[in-house]
Structure 1
Amino acid sequence: MKIRDLSILIGVIGIVLMMVVPIPKGLLDVLLILNISIAIMILLIAMNTQDALHFSIFPTILLLTTIFRLALNVSTTRLVLSKADAGHVVETFGRFVAGGQIAIGFVVFLILVVVQFIVITKGSERVAEVGARFTLDAMPGKQMSIDADLNAGLINEHQARERREKIGKEADFYGAMDGASKFVKGDAIASIIIVLINLIAGFIIGMAVHGMDVMTSLEKYSILTIGDGLVSQIPALLISTAAGIIVTRAASEGNMADDLSKQLLRYPKLLYIVAGTVALLGLATPIPMISTIPYAAILAIAGYRLQKNLNKKQQEEELLVEEKHIEEVRSPESVISLLQVDPIEFEFGYGLIPLADTSQGGDLLDRIIMIRRQCALEMGLIVPVIRIRDNIQLKPNEYVIKMKGNTVARGELLLHHYLAMSPGFDDDSVTGIETQEPAFGLPALWIDEATKERAEMAGYTVVDPPSVVATHLTEVIKKYAHELIGRQETKALIESVKETYPALVEELIPSILSIGDVQKVLSKLLKEKISIRDLVTIFETLADYGKFTKDPEVLTEYVRQSLSRQITQQYANSSEPLKVITVSPAIEKKIADAVQQSDQGSYLAMDPASSQAIYQRLTEQVNRLVQSGQQPIILTSPTIRMYLRQLLERSLQDIPVISYSELEPSIEVQSVGVVSA
């Protein structure tokens, strides 16, 4: 057990023992000072807390401090009655407040008790009770609001869980405060009873046991009673005030000092009215002007200074708004539009303007429309509008493709030239400017019009610049398609399916999965270049298996198996066997043994040496197939497919990894390589 935990346990046990074990006067003085210090600290924390839940331990502290005060009361009462001496702290408080006059001391003490019991304690108790009731009544509405935001995709599952936990903690806190306020009320009643016991019993014991006369006994025990009562009531008053502050603060965004300064002094002109009223009291009533006029002057000066600062701040804000408006007028585009991030942008240098200028024969806009249609047919993805603009910061013949404001690809074009890619053997008669095909990184040449026919005769693949751009843009969209589908785009796809399959959508969303869960599955499919066009099959699978798991990785595997016919046709040629790289049982076992389970799902936790060894063997097999001109495809068992995909995701993300369950039984498979341990 930690020292901190042990000290708290010993402290609580010690509080209980104080009620039955006599305490020396010196130690009692220290404990009384400690009690006052704790009360002051609790009050300061309550004043500086922005949210009641930040001080959620307060009900428990309220109970412990109440027991501590009662234990001190019992200890001081024991010393008062037995020895007529309860230490320096009690006697000092009694003599200081009484000021030599016992009657005045009693009156002050009674006022304190009345304020504590009737005003603060009763008020805090009532506010805590109403707060607890309103919090419990509002819980169903708050839960429904969270579910609605989650289903709409405004928040994710983690944020929804945090909000639900906060609502539960609020209900627990205000319920505990409702009960804890009874401790303060009971403590006030007990203090009154203890005071009466100290006074009456002490008066009798002083004469009967200690042999005092009437006046001596009355004076002695009156001072001790007042001191004992004040030592316990002052900390109780501070803690009751802290309880009142905690339960009465609502709709606050700062601490108590911030709220008071911002809200009480929000209208400086009102200080003039207050100053005038105070000055009028000094002029029209017998109240001395020396007491009112200086105070009124201070209020008037404070109002003037606050009003001056407020006017200055308003002028600065107006000037800032005016400058912003002027800047917007001068700018060719709206500032707000510049703050928005487009999903896809195509920027080019001024030398490529003819590509997009229809008056110069450019057909880039028409090609982009065809790209969006092609992506919808091949991938089932609705590609957002592609923003096209020229950028003078680029080289004249350079272009860049951006995703959400970040450059993901770039290239250069030579207008009035053609891009020629070699068939595998070079022809010396075909000459041009050496370059690299931007979409696939193949070596190529920029050739002129005169060389075009010769290159085609030699077997070169000759492409015009607009086609180069269109191909590059299409490949970039396919590569980053998983980043283009968010919750809003997923909702649009869901609505399109709902028009023809309403029963399917109503069963799936939101009772089984949220829009965010569906979006994660669609994104993972697109990341591995699996078309999501067959949304009906995807949703049917999610409706079947979403009841048992919410893990997007596992759900994606089930969906892939349901799309086995589509995946088979994507990679297999009916006339030839599907050539694949297989993984040995030893490697599969090693990967399966390295899988770890967590609350968020399963993940691969393999040591770096083993990961690197498997990766190197896979790379060797992949490079061998690439050099022979074949498409490398890795085939593995369904249980480890997604983990092997995770292993290759960073460096070999373009290599398909499929499982046996994702292939049709009729397809012929030929292993052209084995990854072994």
Structure 2
Amino acid sequence: MKSRSIAPMAVPAGVVGIVLLLVVPLPAPLLDVLIAVNITASLVILLTSMYVKRPLDFSVFPSLILVFTLFRLGLNVASTRLVLRDGYAGQVIDAFGHFVVGGSLVIGLVIFLILVVIQFAVITNGAGRVAEVGARFTLDAMPGKQMAIDADLNSGLIDEDTARQRRADVAAEADFYGAMDGGSKFVKGDAIAGIVITVINLVGGFVIGMVQMKMSAGDALQRFSLLTIGDGLVTQIPALLLSVSTGIVVTRATASGDLGTAAAKQLMQSRTALLIAGGGAVALALLPGMPKLPFMLVGCALIFAAQRAKATQAKDAAAAEKAALPSPTAPPADTPEQLIEQMRVHTLEILLAPDLVDLVGAGPDADLLARVRGLRRKTALELGIVVPPVRTRDSVDLPRSTYVVKIAGVEVGRGEAPGGRMLALGDDLSSLPGTAVHEPVFGLPGKWVPAELRHAAEMSGATVVDRVSVLITHLGALITQNAARLLGREDVRVLTESVKRVNPSVVEELVPSLLSLGEVQRVLQGLLAEEVPIRDLGRIYEALALRARVSTEPEGLVEAARAALGPALASSYVQEGVIRVLTLDPALEQSLVESLRPGDQGTHLLVDPHRLDAVLAQLRSSVATAEADGRAVVLVCAPAIRPALHRLVALGLPRLPVLSYAEVTGAGVSVETVGVVRGDHAIAA
């Protein structure tokens, strides 16, 4: 039978065997084997707890505590039965009773009591307290960790599978510390049971020796006491090893390596401490009456370790200095190449106030560059464009705690991210200290609260966001709003080449025979300006190839591409299988069609300003009513007036999507009309 098929049966069979220990008498040789297994397995668990890199790597440990506690109690029962019945419980217990404690009852009792005090009063109590506090803090930190995972997922830093794994790790960590809290109670109970069983064995053995075996009081006490002490030591030593393992596992903090490596690295980090300790040991050796050799050996070893630490630190410093030196091939700062680089206008740029430079450093709250990389990946998957590299630099001209986002050298947004603070978002933040602000993307009310009050803010019902998440969310919104400006000619060429590799016929038909690369860029920019993803470039190019045979007018090309993407466009606004729409009154729509006029930048609607204000007011009221009920709505109209109407609506309602009838009906979903904009009513309003 293979080991994989044995493993699922080993533990259940072992637990059944442990239960049998409680009722079935064992021969002394078999008890010796089981005691050896108990001691060796406890040693393996202790060493394993030292080499795990994080507690979750040993998640089965709480269950092992229960199983081995039951195992030791079963061995206690089996050994007690042999001691009281035969006056002999195997060679292991006899060896511990005679050889280990020197055959002395007093020495055995003292050693046993010392082990019990160490385990019960020191290690078990400490490990239980650490497990209890760790479980409490882990549970309290779960909401914040879940929000951090969601923020990383929303910014694109991680994918859905990684987020799911991290959420599982957070839940497993909470379950682990909760189980360790209960497991420590098993260890504590085991120590108490060991004391009680030893007392029972002492009294019972003394009585049986005198009454049943007709021994004298001294012989009975000597014989059964040594066996009882040997039995207690045999079980308490593995219990002590398991208690130490418990303490090691629950006290592991942020060390990334095993216990030995982490301890050696951290103890050797201070050369001064090693020198002082070594000098102190040498000084103790010089005191009259002190043994000189032990203290001199220890002192010299510490001084030698300090010299090794000095050499290691010097080597690390030299490596860091070498890495910081400029490359010998780098041009001087005043060369034409360097000046041209400084003159170049970067497509996308983040300027940070000097006190925000720590956002690009090292630490859990300083992962701006990694989050920017994740945002670029997320934007590429959602919009279909490759965002150019984001240049990040500091600027002494900015006010304190301020950041600015620039596109092609022009500021498109700015915000604040005070150091040592986190943004709490919610409706009732009056109980929290801090500066009241509005979140830069959605305009939600919030406060920048001290980072140490994060838990208090979460308990009050607020959503707490770190500084990097605030900046990344703002940057993502700005990129989406300005995606058309970020799409350059070279980007279009790269995208077209990628389409050509999988669909060469459509590209060869479209570019350059029907449209130039610049005209394709203009169409794609038109789509992005209305936040239409261009991921399905093959379908877009097919629609452009058909339309370009009739007309190369940009607005018509954009509408042709939208028609091809119609089902995908409408599906993004579907809620519960229904798309909720606002429509125009037929009379109003007919009047808008009649007011349509061509122009250099596309078609226009020649509408009286008062009438336009009234229409926008009614639209604004209808949208507010729908949003209050948690419903998303879109405005639908005739395809002929959709582009011009969208430009007008964007003046007052920039977030209201405007779709044509063809785009909505082609999605194959239910359509629910939630309002009708009537021209006469709008004018009367």
TM-score using structure 2 length: 0.55
Task: State the match for 1:291 in structure 2.
Answer: 294
Q: Give a deviation string over 1:581-640, Cα, whole Å, max 9, x none.
A: xxxxxxxxxxxxxxxxxxxxxxxxxxxxxxxxxxxxxxxxxxxxxxxxxxxxxxxxxxxx
Question: Percent identity among equivalent residues?
Answer: 41
SS at 1:240 equivalent? helix
- Indicate yes or no: 2:521 matched with 1:528: no
Distance 2:305 2:519 in 1: 67
| Cα shift at 1:403 | 6.2
What is the aligned counterpart of 1:384 among 487, 511, 533?
A: 487
Query: Aligned letter for 1:26?
Result: P
Q: Find the aligned partners of 1:97 and 1:151 in 2 and give their Cα distance.
A: 63
Structure 1 counterpart SS, 2:508: coil
2:109 is aligned to 106
Q: Retained in 1: the 8 A contact 2:25–2:81? A: yes
Deviation at 1:58, TM superposition (A): 1.0
| 1:440 maps to which of 498, 508, 526 | 508
Of 230, 233, 238, the residue aligned with 1:235 is 238
Two-structure CA RMSD over aligned residues (Å) = 4.6
The letter of the residue matching 2:226 is I
Contact 1:80 1:221 in 2 (8 A): yes
1:261 to 256, 261, 264: 264
Amino acid aligned to 2:73: L
What are the within-5 Å matches in structure 2 for residues 396-407 of structure 1? 402=494
Deviations 1:169-218 (A, max 9, x none): 11111111111111000000000001111112112211222222222222
What's the CA shift for 1:32? 0.6
Task: Say if 2:574 is the partner of 1:545.
Answer: yes
CA distances 1:635-662 after superposition (whole Å, capped 9, x unpaired): xxxxxxxxxxxxxxxxxxxxxxx99957
Report what 1:471 is aligned to.
516
The answer to whether 1:58 aligns with 2:61 is yes
2:147 corresponds to: 144
Q: Give the direction of change, closer, same or farther, for the CA distance of 1:385–1:441 in structure 2 (3 Å limit).
A: closer
Cα distance, 1:165 vs structure 2: 1.5
Alignment deviations for residues 449-468 of structure 1 (CA, whole Å, 9 cap, x no partner): xxxxxxxxxxxx8xxxxxx9
Q: Distance in 1 between matches of 2:569 and 2:490?
A: 35
**CA 1:528–1:539 in 2, change beyond 3 Å: closer, same or farther?**
closer
Question: Does structure 1 retain, via aligned residues, the 8 Å contact 2:571–2:667?
Answer: no
Aligned to 1:313: 316
Q: Distance in 2 between matches of 1:121 and 1:98?
A: 24
SS at match of 1:529: helix
Report the equivalent of 2:440. Answer: none
Alpha-carbon distance in 1 for matches of 2:267, 2:533? 54
Q: Map 1:350-365; keep pairs closer than 5 Å.
A: none
1:222 and 2:225 aligned: yes
Amino acid of the residue matched to residue 117 of structure 1?
Answer: F
Q: CA deviation at 1:220?
A: 1.4
1:134-189 CA distance string (max 9 Å, x none)? 11111222223333333344333333222222211111111111111110000000
TM-score, structure 1 normalization:
0.56
1:90 to 93, 107, 113: 93
1:443 to partner: Cα distance: 13
Cα pair distance change 1:7/1:403, threshold 3 Å: same
User: How far apart, in 2, do the equivalents of 1:442 and 1:137 lie?
Assistant: 59
Contact 1:344 1:403 in 2 (8 A): no
Cα distance in 1 between the residues matched to 2:260 and 2:323: 29
Aligned mates of 1:106, 1:329 — CA distance in 2: 80
Over 3 Å counting, the alpha-carbon distance change for 1:196 and 1:662 in structure 2 is closer
Aligned letter for 2:516? Answer: T
CA shift, 1:408, in A, is: 8.4
In the alignment, is the contact (CA less than 8 A) between 2:493 and 2:517 conserved in 1? Answer: no
Counterpart of 1:328? 330
1:26 deviates by 1.0
Change (3 A) 1:478 1:442: closer
| Contact 1:272–1:300 (CA under 8 A) maintained in structure 2 | yes
Partner of 2:44: 41
Q: Return closer, same or farther for 1:330/1:83 CA change in 2, 3 Å cut-off.
A: farther
1:118, distance to aligned residue in structure 2 (A)? 0.5
State how far apart, in whole Å, the 2-side matches of 1:283 and 1:149 are. 60
SS of 1:154's equivalent in the other structure is coil
Query: Cα distance 1:152–1:110, how it changes in 2: closer, same or farther (>3 A)?
Result: same
**Which has the larger Rg?**
1
Q: Deviations over 1:361-402 (max 9, x none)?
A: xxxxxxxxxxxxxxx9xxx955534569xxxxxxxxxxx965
Deviations 1:428-462 (A, max 9, x none): xxxxxxxx999628999xxxxxxxxxxxxxxxx8x
Alignment check: 8 A CA contact 1:184 1:240 kept: yes
Distance 1:8 1:161 in 2: 30
| Aligned with residue 35 of structure 2, among 26, 29, 32 | 32
Q: Structure 1: 5+ residue runs without aligned partners? A: 346-375, 389-399, 411-435, 445-460, 462-467, 498-517, 550-554, 560-657, 664-677
Three-state SS of the structure 1 residue aligned to 2:533 is helix
Cα separation, 2, equivalents of 1:326 and 1:9? 67
Structure 2: unaligned runs, 5 residues or longer: 347-368, 377-385, 389-478, 542-557, 582-662, 669-685
Distance 2:485 2:567 in 1: 17
- The 1:209/1:313 distance shift into structure 2, 3 A limit, reads same
Q: Which residue of 2 aligns with 1:565?
A: none
SS for the counterpart of 1:545 is: coil
Q: 1:296 to 1:541 in 2, by over 3 A?
A: same
Closer, same or farther: CA 539–528 of 1 in aligned 2, 3 Å: closer
Describe the superposition over 1:534-562 as per-residue Cα deviations: whole angstroms up to 9, x where unpaired: 6998898446535469xxxxx9xx99xxx
Contact 2:566 2:667 in 1 (8 A): no
Residues 328 and 231 (structure 1 numbering): CA distance in 2 closer, same or farther, change over 3 Å?
A: farther
SS of equivalent to 1:291: helix
Q: How many residues are matched? A: 432
Q: Is the 8 A contact 1:276 1:296 kept in 2?
A: yes
Alpha-carbon separation, structure 2, partners of 1:148 and 1:120: 40
